[in-house]
Every structure is written in structure tokens, then in C-alpha cells.
Structure 1
């Protein structure tokens, strides 16, 4: 596929909002319209060599889904559709996650970790880590070696930084994702 695929899970619509903002910044020529994972299948992701995947933070570091209390199907239900071991070898993926650092300081944006780990096990190359500077929290499973595994957005308490963070992160990951486009 000659474009970046942009897929997300969402509970309250905030991840969808951020995905739409991101796609608008990238433009239609470079990135397809964002798709909620409750409206697609694994084959839809596998069509792309470059992907951006987003997740809300829900639970205490698990993949969001109905078993954790989500009202709508999310990543958990998407993965349940199968196949159990898709092949993402040769694909490059950048991740973003949402979280509320004040409300959930003890598990801030932790749902990003199991999502990244799953795609890494399936052979994907992961890009787009992000600095922890400017965030205030006690713990995040998404922090590895002093950096987040992807872009973290806190729309609840730091929405004033969303555009700035999106611009900086997209400047970092876009050239890396473009290398994988036909």
C-alpha cells in the first residue's frame, strides 16, 4: 500500500479525535483516513507496510476491551477475530496512546505496552518512542529506559500541548514510515 494506515481503538472518542487530527496533519496523499478497530479486520492492517496505531488507556496495563469494562469493542475484540499469529514482518509501526496522568498517575498510558509487545512478537519493526519530559505521573508500563514506547497524549489535563506534540512526533516518525511506502 502506498499510504500510511492509521487505526485506533477508542472508548470515549478521544483517541478517534487525536487520530483524525493526526491524519489531517499528514494529509490524504500520505495517510488514509483513520479507522476504528471495531470496524475492521486484521487483513485491513496487513495491507499496509507502514502503520500508526493508537489506543486509549484502560484498565491497569491490559489491552482495552469489553472484559475490562469498555462499552464498545476495542483492541481486545479486534484481536479475537484472528488470526492468532499474523505476520507483520517487514512492516513498520508507530504507536500513540492516550492517558490521564493526574487521574491515573499509578498506571498512566500503560495500555500502550501490551499493544506494542503484541505487534513486536508478530515481527513488526517499532518506531516513534517519545520523551517522558513534561509529564507528571508515578508509573507507566509504557515507559521503557526513560522513554515512552510511542507518543503519549493527555487530552484531559494537557490538551494545550496536543498539537505541538503531534507536530514534533510526526516530524520524527513520518520519514521512517515513508521509507516503507511503495
Structure 2
């Protein structure tokens, strides 16, 4: 089964994915209601919040990355966008993160720093690959591949360092 086969299968029967993706922000809303108002009560729910963050962010990040790839590299038209597999996961991620942010700072959620670092790394990687694709640097240079690879890793480290200092 290819990724295209999987997306075709989900597109043919979108009910299960839709229910799953809509349940995540609904669960975040319910947990916000149950967790209380005191800091000690909210602190006990941090692993539940972490689970909700990961349930929302993994499909959301994947869908966002897929959208960027399809629009920048495959030149997909916005009219051909699948709402269930390309838009709903991103909206679920945003809604869930907004609901959780109201109750608990992200710094208290276990593993959230690694997740934001992962998102930064993906964004930097796609940006660099898009620049390489548009400038066709790989076709017009006589620089050895190891130098390009070292420069690529250095650029990723620079972006990561700059992102951490910026935020």
C-alpha cells in the first residue's frame, strides 16, 4: 500500500478520520473543564494534556508538511485540496493547542520542547530543499557532495540556534 492508496482509502470513507480529528479538541475542552482551577489540580493533568498535544500535532504536522510539499514541489492546485486529510488535521492541531494554552503553559507539558524543535527542523529542511530546487544548485556546481552536505547540516544548526534565540 502506497501513501496515495492510503489517502484514497481515507478519502473514500472519511467518517472515521473526521470523528477522530474532531474528538481531540473536544477532549481538550472536556479536560479543561475537569482539571479544575488550582495549579495543583491542573499539574496532575499534564500527561493527559501531553497525550492530547501529540494526538493533535502528529497528524497536524504531517498534513502541514504534506501541504507545503504538494504546493511548492508538486504544484497542486488549491482547488484539488482534500479537506479531511489536508485541512482538518491542521485545524485540529491549532484548535487543540489553543484550548490547552488557555489552561496550561506549553513549558509544563512533557516533551513539548522536542515537538517544537521537530517542527522547526522540518520547516528549515523544507525551506532549504525548496531553495535548492529553485536555484538548481545541484546541477550547476562542481563542489563535492560532502561540502554541500556539511553546509546543509551547518545551515540547519544555524537555523535551529537562531530559532531558539528568537523564541
* TM-score (norm: length of structure 2): 0.27
Q: Quick check: which has more Rg, 1 or 2? A: 2
Higher relative contact order (Cα pairs below 8 Å, separated by 6+ residues): 2
When you count helix as a share of all residues, which structure comes out higher? 2
Structure with bigger strand share is 1
Q: What TM-score do you get using the length of structure 1 for normalisation?
A: 0.25
